[in-house]
Amino acid sequence: MPAARADDTTATATAAAQAPDSGSPPATLAKPQGRLRRWLRRPTSLQSLWMLVLVLAALLTWSVSQQLGQRRITQQDIDAAVLKTLETQELPSEYAKAYDAIRPSVVRVAGYIKRERLQALAKGKPGAGPAGRATPGASGPKAPPSVDEDEGAQEGEVRLGVGTGVVIVDKGLILTNLHVVSGADRITVTFADGLEATASVVNVQPENDLAVLQAHKIPDDLFAATMKGTGELAPGDKVMAVGFPFGIGPSASGGVVSGLGRAFRSPEGGHSLRNLIQFDAAANPGNSGGPLVTMDGAVVGIVTAILNPTSARTFLGIGFAVPIENAASAVGVPPF
């Protein structure tokens, strides 16, 4: 019997030792908690990525809620903002915008003649005619003699005068008046960027007092003017003349179309020009060959004459321009 009890006691002790403690958690439950604590204490790159995603999601939710809380912009709000801008901001005038559009295409044209040939012409010697192509009687405003008539002239030259031209092809083709360059031994053109180059006459249209020049050197960024047909032009439409009156410029003067289909007869040679645009934008000697432009900066004519019954040759309110359709045909550009 004692041996049996001893065995029972030993078995009981062995069982007790092998049995788990009911008050302690299972070993299998302690492992996940230890891993979570280690994961929180030492965040991995994946953990950091998930934390960043959560933060961005929170910010996005906040932003959407803020936008939903804002008032929707209505057409009335837009109209009020535009009206406020118009009231507080000074916008460029129509003439200023037209000038900015045409200015890069306007050039100063000057003609020079050899002094001995000029003296021969003054004496009326035969064979002393202009080296250039003949032109009918002068039909445009010519500059009177001035103290700077030799400005830009080379040795043995005299400056005939100054006019204006407009680039119509970006390869250096320039429209001007024939009377500006007629008789010149040398022609120069000065572009908007200040580049000065010689030029030659490549075509003429005497019936419209037009000449086409080819510049021998051109700027890298030369801009050709935009041309616009006169089909929709009407008396009262705003126009602007741009040129070098008395060599000063480029200068701009604004006015309106006074009439269409006008005729003009030169007081010197009796040459008649027809189908002209009459305008009242100021034009003076030196404006000849310059562009007459609309408020969108498009060329509708080439300034060619002013009407003044006196010998003063200054502007009295009536100027004439050759329609661009005629001018374009002188260059071989198809009609509008």
The structure tokens 């320039």 sit at 174
Same-domain status, 243 and 189 = no
Among the listed residues 305, 142, 130, the one whose alpha carbon sits nearest the alpha carbon of residue 210: 305
**Residue 62 lies inside a defined structural domain of this protein:** no
Residue 222 vs residues 225, 227, 249, 262, 294: alpha-carbon distances, Å: 10, 16, 19, 33, 21
The pLDDT score that the predictor gives to residue 52 is 76
Q: Which CATH number do you get for residue 254? A: 2.40.10.10
Residues annotated catalytic, as ranges: 179, 209, 288
Confidence of residue 116 (pLDDT cuts 50, 70, 90): confident
Task: At 226, list the tokens.
Answer: 């935009």
Work out the average pLDDT over 92-117: 93
- Segment 145-165 shows an average pLDDT of 75
- Determine the 3-state secondary structure of 208 from DSSP: helix
Q: Is the overall model pTM greater than 0.75, yes or no?
A: no
Question: Are 191 and 287 in a shared domain?
Answer: no
Backbone angles phi, psi at 302, to 5 degrees: -115, 120
Task: For residues 209 and 265, state if they share a domain.
Answer: no
pLDDT digits (tens, 9 = 90+) for 165-215: 999 999 999 999 999 999 999 999 999 999 999 999 999 999 899 999 999
Residue 135 pLDDT grade (very low, low, confident, very high; cuts 50, 70, 90): very low
Asked, as a colleague might, if the bond just before 250 is cis with ω within 30 of 0, I would say: yes
Same domain for 262 and 207, yes or no, is no
pLDDT-wise least confident of 37-41, 85-89, 152-156, 234-238: 37-41
What's residue 37's pLDDT? 60
Residue 193 and residue 289 in one domain: no
Query: Counting Cβ atoms within 10 Å, is residue 120 exposed (0-12), middle (13-18) or buried (19+)?
Result: middle
Count structural domains, the chain.
Answer: 2
Residue 326 has a pLDDT of 83
Residue 254 predicted with pLDDT over 80: yes
Asked if residue 114 is part of any domain, the answer here is: yes
Question: Facing residues of 254 across strands?
Answer: 240
Boundaries of domain holding 290: 238-331
Say if residue 263's pLDDT is above 60.
yes
Lowest mean pLDDT among 2-6, 98-102, 254-258, 330-334: 2-6
Q: Is the pLDDT of residue 137 over 60?
A: no
Count Cα neighbours of 310 within 13 Å in the Cβ-side half-sphere.
5
Residues 253 and 301 in one domain: yes
- Which of 241, 265, 260 shows the shortest CA–CA distance to 251? 241
Averaged confidence pLDDT in the chain: 79
